[in-house]
Amino acid sequence: MVGLVRSGCRTTMNNVEKFVILLLLLRILILTRLERAQPAHPISYRDVWRWDALASVVFTFAVYPAAVFLDNYLPIRPVVPPTVMALPLVVRFFLYLIIADFGHYWVHRFLHMPFLWRAHKWHHYPTYMYWLAGARGSILQQTLVNVPYIFAGVLLDFAPWWIALVLITKNTLQNDWMHLNVPWGWHWLEWIIVTPRYHHIHHSDNPAHYRGNLAAMFPIWDRLFGTYVNPEKAPRNLTFGIGEHPPAIRMMLGV
């Protein structure tokens, strides 16, 4: 579940497409190898990869463009004072990460409320966990998740062209990392960044975990707002899924 990549960067779509294809090949080769070397949960890639590849294609070429189209009608780009825009790019980039991730946390938290849960079901539908399992999101979910990224994205207006590639890489690998089927996670690191074992708890079908570990990048939000579940005290043999099979089209739309 990643946010919109939007900034003032300019680069040709042809180069971006080539970069995305190269990134995909590297993800397949490297991430699958890492998972096979030390899996956290049992999985049969042969049984699931076709459905996940299809879900990823649907998300990339249908869900995501539809969400971006809807976001264009939302007045969510603030006016930033010139003094802020005059800050060095590296400072504005870190401000972007903090603001966008803070907003992502709250959007994610609302998606787990009864009135918005249908918009989020598709993301939690898989009964297994690996790097490609997280490539799902309904149109309504993605429209909402994009909002804090668009809001914070003003900070990156007039940035160099390569910032777009940095954001594409960051968002893609962040999503892969959270869902990676490895047992990695250290208590000290989980004060700084979400780890696979940290996020796996969030996907657990245990009702005690439904609204836990909601952070997308910085775990501090969970600790501050009471949604933290300590991975070291959670069962290692987690199971996943939503326990139901809604129509695919409804999950895709988020209704």
pLDDT in tens, 121-142: 999 999 999 999 999 999 999 9
pLDDT, one tens digit per residue, over 153-204 is 999 998 898 898 999 999 999 999 999 999 999 999 999 999 999 999 999 9
Residue 243 to residue 246: CA distance in whole angstroms = 10
In a domain, 2, yes or no: no
Tokens of 108: 């994610």
- The whole-number pLDDT of residue 158 equals 87
- In this structure, what are the phi and psi dihedrals at residue 43, rounded to the nearest 5 degrees? -155, 145
In a domain, 6, yes or no: no
- The whole-number pLDDT of residue 16 equals 76
In a domain, 116, yes or no: yes
In a domain, 19, yes or no: yes
In a domain, 102, yes or no: yes
- The whole-number pLDDT of residue 92 equals 97
Dihedral over Cα of 138, 139, 140, 144: its sign: positive
- For the chain, report the end-to-end CA distance as a whole number of angstroms: 17
pLDDT, one tens digit per residue, over 45-83 is 999 999 999 999 999 999 999 999 999 999 999 999 999
Of 145, 152, 156, 60, residue with least CA distance to 104: 145
**Residue 217 sits in which domain range?**
13-253
pTM: 0.93
pLDDT, one tens digit per residue, over 8-37 is 444 455 677 788 889 999 999 999 999 999
% of the chain surpassing 70 pLDDT:
95
- The whole-number pLDDT of residue 204 equals 97
Tokens of 217: 């990048």
Tokens of 228: 């933290």
In a domain, 7, yes or no: no
Question: Residues 7, 157: contact at Cβ < 8 Å?
Answer: yes
In a domain, 238, yes or no: yes
- The whole-number pLDDT of residue 19 equals 87
In a domain, 68, yes or no: yes
Domain tally for the chain?
Answer: 1
